[in-house]
Structure 1
Amino acid sequence: MFRAWSAFLIFGCTLLATQDLQPSGEKIRTHVKYLASDELEGRGVGTRGEKLATQYIAAQLETFGVKPAGDQGTYFQRVPLVGSKTLPSATLTITGKTGSSPLALNKDFVGTAFSQQPENDFDAEAVFVGHGIAAPEFGWDDYKGQSLAGKVLVYFTNEPPSTDLKFFGGRALTYYGRWTYKFEEAARRGAVAALIVHTTPTAGYGWGVVTGSWSQEHAELKLQPGEKGLKLAAWLSEDAGARLFASTGKTVEQLLALANSKSFRPMPLGVHIAGHIPVALRDIDSRNVVGRVDGADAALARQAILYSAHWDHLGIAVPVNGDNIYNGAVDNATGCAVVLEIARTWAALPKKPKRSAVFLFVTAEEMGLLGSEYYAEHPEVPPGQTAADLNFDALYPFGATRDVSVTGAERTTLWELVEDDAKRANLSISPDPEPEQGHYYRSDHFSLARVGIPAFTIAQGTDYLGKPAGFGKEVFEDYNTKHYHQPSDEYRDSWNMAGMEQMARFGFTLGLDIANQPSLPSWVKGDEFLSARQKSESGK
């Protein structure tokens, strides 16, 4: 029955045309143009731009007839954050049998305190823990049951290399390879500080990318009473790592080889690391925007399909060619505009699907998926009752494509439905071109997946209609090298919105079909998120 529903919406009739029950590229354009305008000053978290952006989104939802689903009957969900910026007086020193070796901030190391305290001092034994991974599902444990409370943990990013899809995803990076996991695991084990030794091959990007990101203010969700954060979460340059490892008589390459062995055990480095990490702290009162359209089925309306996009960007920052407003037109005014247009269309349906729909616009994606993490912990609909999350993050203004990207959908029981809906929309499904980069773990859908919700991002492919072969790859690389996280990511009236309309319609149709399925979807057997899904469905 639900297939017939979406087919009706796709192929349509005069009623659909007159009632405007399909997402419109020109309406998407209107939203992008405002959200990416200079008036919003780059939509920085905790700024005037945040207030304007979130007020606009809420006003649009109200106009569409979407109900508020935030705090106290409003569209806003408060997200308490703490910003932390390491002060220039910070010091880090390696001390061993042969003397002391100071490390220079922003040259040898870069990082900040996650303790949310202004002064952070420590002097502790350094222990090398390989990749810093404990993954029982892959039979891997770098910690081997050793107590490392109060230590400084040292490790590499990434994960053990493999081509076996059943072992850390083969070439594809899993969450265990991400720096976020490494720091979380170190904190869980009571470490006082944690240091990642950077190499370009293990990180997938150069040292300049690390220093550029980590020399700025870093934000975290506000710690709850009793929670403790690391006194230092930092990266070391490869040269600094070599100095640290010198006491073992081994090189960075040799220690990496040891780390790639399943038999690896934590290795004391024979040195102490002392840190004095003063930080400037700032309370940031930010907010998500949340709306809801109730479902038609009395029993299933308590369940929901979730649509998400992040509204934030980088705000006002270092000027480039005289422009200091980082407008974030592609990233991610486009995603917000698409979700707004899906919300408008959904609310206008004369007959609603069985399940409800929640429309979520999150803060602080650029600071580490913090808004979506907060929503996952404080949801409008519990994870065990949320059918799926369809996320939109950075759509391109170059026209329609023959393909769609839905990386991660193949890991869910929705895969057959996704394939069918793509086929009916005349779209092929493009594979992830860079699985080793772990893109799945770098957008807001990941926060929802972590609590068990089947989640993935919908994006255009690269096979553009009416364009020569290679065009899609060329414009994608041009955006990433010249405009990504730059002031030049700006809206232009020359933009072709056909691709955004196409993705909005595909996402709308897929969401309708999910909302009308007889049972809730899940993750496939053996997936890393299946246990979280089972736990959420049991209500535990």
Structure 2
Amino acid sequence: MRIPNRFAPQVLIVAVAVAIAACQPAPAPTAPEPEPYDASAGADARRIEADVRFLADDLLEGREAGRRGHDLAALYVAQRMRATGLAPAAQDDQGQRSYYQSVPMLAATREAEGAALMVHRDGGDVALAFEREFLPDADFNAAEARVTAPMVFVGQGVHAPSLGHDDFAGLDLRGRIAVLFNGAPAAFDTDRRAFHASGREKLRELAARGAVGAIFVSTDAEDARSPWAHRADNWRRPGMRLRGADGVALDTFPQLRVIARVSAAAAPRLLDAGGHSARQLFADLDAGTLHGFDLPGTATLASRSRIEPVQSRNVVGVLPGSDPALAAEHVVFSAHLDHIGIGAAVDGDSIYNGALDNALGVAIMLEAAKRLAQSPQPPKRSLLFVAVTAEEKGLLGAEWFARHPTVAADALVANVNMDMPVLLAPTSDAVPVGIEHSSLQALVEAAAAKIGVTLSPDPIPEESIFVRSDQYAFIRAGVPSIYLVGGYQGRDGIDARAINGAFLREHYHRPGDDASQPIRYDDAARLAHLNAEIGQRIADAPERPRWNEGDFFGEMFGRGKVPEGRALNEDGKPPSGQETRSPGDS
């Protein structure tokens, strides 16, 4: 998006005013007086549009976590929270109440010089081309890393004995480089498939079995959905991980000295050996008949990264509960404030504005907060509103908040997350991803019925989106969660599903996701109303939400449960002997 010159001075004046206002001394930890609520027709839609146009402006440079554009966005959101009547719900370094929760991270940027992926076989050495055929993951533990080792193909790297599936059966990974496909078996139910498709879980399994490196190979189907060229275009963009008090990256796997990604087009150069072929392995994957084997030859992986500390922040406001018996319990609304910043130019535009992803989600959350702050029936439980940072870097802001909540950890009773509502066509529905997992379902259905919103099922369960946005950080902390997105049932004969699909193909994580799109702010206002009604019902329910009996995520992560190999110390780091390395592009 480009700013018309006639608007640039006004935008700069507003930005400076917001920054000055938000930098004033923090108010007392009580809700400030909210600005008057304009309930006239369309006022809610206009407020949402104003927020989106500011947050998705070129001035904010794509709101990349840890960069000045995101800092300005955080200042803006804090001021909007204050004007709405939310009290600051975090603490600054001096222990004073603040809207800002610091999130310490490390940024690692790949460097082309020194990167290598070479296959050594009897017929000679084969070197894959950097960027065009392979990319190493950014390394958060070593500026330079190199490993040469035998290879072993491990299917999709899934160990699920309860489902009778083990890609590692009969294979020795010790001292070897694991070669694998993404995803999880199609025969798994949606929940287990989502969990086992996680890059974090795959790398954890590889490290536990003694692997020294990993190569993820894309398939033709993957590259058709998300072209390798689009992913490789922005290899210079830094990756990020949370940083512990000792300055070391958290949630990384140092045993895996180099992790690399290979395009589907280059897969035969790696996999065509010993009677095997990439084409046949792709077919075996589709048929569910994939098996592991020792891959002939050895491989050399090398990477070089520039590592630097980065500081970003979550923005946290609270609407205190009205019932003394329930006010200590908190419902958490979340929406990620960051996007992916400045990157490779497309048609001369290099700013990735992130209007739908996720300026619109933040604006909807702010409007829901405004509705709730003005409710004639003040919610009984307290409501936290968190604009989290670094979702695009791996859910890092939400992960930090879930590990270090600004209230007691057991006081978090539910999470309602909003991420990238694609509202480009008039619709009559919304999609509450994950309602089937907990008692939140009845509350969400009642809220939708009151407002007149149809609830539709997840249209792409195979994409496992329930574990791909910030709600997953809360789920891993044992908090029942839902993820609200826009619907796909078009009104007036419009094919909303096709329009949404075109956005995902052409503008998702591209400069074209800007405020010039025909965003349906009336539908956004309806979604904000639904958010507010859901929050009110959770806050006023006699009992806190609970996971359904036998639910996979409840069994895996429910309060008081620590899955094997996943315990964390107070600082969020694994216990001694369970060191981990980067989850890659999970």
TM-score bracket relative to the smaller structure:
0.7 to 0.9
* Equivalent residue, structure 1, for 2:111: 87
Question: Following the alignment from structure 1 to structure 2, what is the Cα–Cα distance between the partners of residues 367 and 531?
Answer: 27
Question: Following the alignment from structure 2 to structure 1, what is the Cα–Cα distance between the partners of residues 205 and 164?
Answer: 17
Query: Which stretch shows the higher mean deviation, 506-515 or 350-359?
Result: 350-359
Question: Following the alignment from structure 1 to structure 2, what is the Cα–Cα distance between the partners of residues 281 and 62?
Answer: 36
Q: 1:130 aligns with which of 155, 160, 168?
A: 155
* Equivalent residue, structure 2, for 1:360: 386
Cα distance, 1:484–1:130 mapped onto 2, change above 3 Å: closer
Whether 1:402 and 2:428 are equivalent positions in the alignment is yes
The CA deviation string for residues 311-339 of structure 1, in whole angstroms up to 9 with x for no partner, is 11122333333333222222211111111
Question: Following the alignment from structure 1 to structure 2, what is the Cα–Cα distance between the partners of residues 382 and 124?
Answer: 47
Q: 2:86 aligns with which of 52, 66, 71?
A: 66
Other structure's SS at 1:43 match: coil
The answer on whether the counterparts of 1:109 and 1:236 sit within 8 Å (CA) in structure 2 is yes
Q: 2:61 aligns with which of 41, 58, 80?
A: 41
Shift of 1:145: 8.3
Shift of 1:183: 3.1
The answer on whether the counterparts of 1:384 and 1:533 sit within 8 Å (CA) in structure 2 is no
* Equivalent residue, structure 2, for 1:220: 241
* Equivalent residue, structure 1, for 2:333: 307
Question: Following the alignment from structure 2 to structure 1, what is the Cα–Cα distance between the partners of residues 289 and 423?
Answer: 50
Shift of 1:432: 2.0
* Equivalent residue, structure 2, for 1:32: 52
Whether 1:387 and 2:408 are equivalent positions in the alignment is no
Query: Which stretch shows the higher mean deviation, 202-211 or 90-99?
Result: 202-211
Shift of 1:387: 2.1
The answer on whether the counterparts of 2:108 and 2:140 sit within 8 Å (CA) in structure 1 is no
The answer on whether the counterparts of 1:85 and 1:112 sit within 8 Å (CA) in structure 2 is no
Query: Which stretch shows the higher mean deviation, 206-215 or 61-70?
Result: 206-215
Whether 1:56 and 2:76 are equivalent positions in the alignment is yes
* Equivalent residue, structure 2, for 1:176: 196
Cα distance, 1:136–1:358 mapped onto 2, change above 3 Å: farther
Q: 1:476 aligns with which of 471, 495, 500?
A: 500
Other structure's SS at 1:182 match: helix
Whether 1:156 and 2:181 are equivalent positions in the alignment is yes
Q: 2:99 aligns with which of 58, 72, 75?
A: 75
Cα distance, 1:322–1:380 mapped onto 2, change above 3 Å: same
Question: Following the alignment from structure 2 to structure 1, what is the Cα–Cα distance between the partners of residues 51 and 475?
Answer: 28
Cα distance, 1:433–1:148 mapped onto 2, change above 3 Å: same
Question: Following the alignment from structure 2 to structure 1, what is the Cα–Cα distance between the partners of residues 400 and 418?
Answer: 18
The answer on whether the counterparts of 1:247 and 1:269 sit within 8 Å (CA) in structure 2 is yes
Other structure's SS at 1:488 match: coil
Question: Following the alignment from structure 2 to structure 1, what is the Cα–Cα distance between the partners of residues 55 and 533?
Answer: 25
Other structure's SS at 2:190 match: coil
The CA deviation string for residues 155-207 of structure 1, in whole angstroms up to 9 with x for no partner, is 11122222xxxx3329x951312444433433454432211111122575333
Shift of 1:283: 2.2
Whether 1:316 and 2:337 are equivalent positions in the alignment is no
Question: Following the alignment from structure 1 to structure 2, what is the Cα–Cα distance between the partners of residues 37 and 452?
Answer: 36
Where do residues 179-190 of structure 1 align in structure 2 (5 Å cutoff)? 179-190=199-210
Cα distance, 1:114–1:527 mapped onto 2, change above 3 Å: farther
Whether 1:208 and 2:229 are equivalent positions in the alignment is yes
Question: Following the alignment from structure 1 to structure 2, what is the Cα–Cα distance between the partners of residues 109 and 484?
Answer: 22
* Equivalent residue, structure 1, for 2:468: 442
Cα distance, 1:276–1:74 mapped onto 2, change above 3 Å: same
The answer on whether the counterparts of 1:200 and 1:207 sit within 8 Å (CA) in structure 2 is no
Question: Following the alignment from structure 1 to structure 2, what is the Cα–Cα distance between the partners of residues 105 and 436?
Answer: 30
Question: Following the alignment from structure 2 to structure 1, what is the Cα–Cα distance between the partners of residues 394 and 353?
Answer: 19
Question: Following the alignment from structure 1 to structure 2, what is the Cα–Cα distance between the partners of residues 84 and 359?
Answer: 30
Whether 1:516 and 2:532 are equivalent positions in the alignment is no
The answer on whether the counterparts of 2:414 and 2:481 sit within 8 Å (CA) in structure 1 is yes
Other structure's SS at 1:313 match: coil
Report sequence identity in percent.
33
Letter in 2 for 1:242: P
Cα distance, 1:21–1:144 mapped onto 2, change above 3 Å: farther
Letter in 2 for 1:389: N
Letter in 2 for 1:358: L
* Equivalent residue, structure 1, for 2:584: none
Question: Following the alignment from structure 1 to structure 2, what is the Cα–Cα distance between the partners of residues 521 and 421?
Answer: 15
* Equivalent residue, structure 1, for 2:316: 290
Q: 1:276 aligns with which of 282, 302, 307?
A: 302
* Equivalent residue, structure 1, for 2:579: none
Other structure's SS at 2:144 match: coil
Say what the alpha-carbon RMSD is for the aligned residues: 3.1
Other structure's SS at 2:342 match: strand
Alignment TM-score, normalising by the size of structure 1: 0.86
Question: Following the alignment from structure 2 to structure 1, what is the Cα–Cα distance between the partners of residues 239 and 194?
Answer: 23
Shift of 1:493: 10
The answer on whether the counterparts of 1:21 and 1:349 sit within 8 Å (CA) in structure 2 is no
Question: Following the alignment from structure 1 to structure 2, what is the Cα–Cα distance between the partners of residues 141 and 155?
Answer: 13
Unmatched runs of 5 consecutive residues or more in structure 2: 1-35, 568-586
* Equivalent residue, structure 1, for 2:367: 341
Q: 2:133 aligns with which of 108, 128, 132?
A: 108
Cα distance, 1:380–1:461 mapped onto 2, change above 3 Å: same
Shift of 1:290: 1.2
Cα distance, 1:496–1:108 mapped onto 2, change above 3 Å: closer
The answer on whether the counterparts of 2:547 and 2:558 sit within 8 Å (CA) in structure 1 is no
Shift of 1:356: 1.2
Letter in 2 for 1:505: H
* Equivalent residue, structure 2, for 1:3: none
Whether 1:503 and 2:527 are equivalent positions in the alignment is yes
Query: Which stretch shows the higher mean deviation, 456-465 or 271-280?
Result: 456-465
Cα distance, 1:359–1:190 mapped onto 2, change above 3 Å: farther
* Equivalent residue, structure 2, for 1:194: 214
Question: Following the alignment from structure 1 to structure 2, what is the Cα–Cα distance between the partners of residues 494 and 234?
Answer: 38
The CA deviation string for residues 264-298 of structure 1, in whole angstroms up to 9 with x for no partner, is 77532232222221112232211111122222233
Alignment TM-score, normalising by the size of structure 2: 0.80
* Equivalent residue, structure 1, for 2:558: 534
The CA deviation string for residues 442-491 of structure 1, in whole angstroms up to 9 with x for no partner, is 222222222222222212212344x3242x22432343344332333222
* Equivalent residue, structure 2, for 1:8: none
Letter in 2 for 1:376: A
* Equivalent residue, structure 1, for 2:7: none
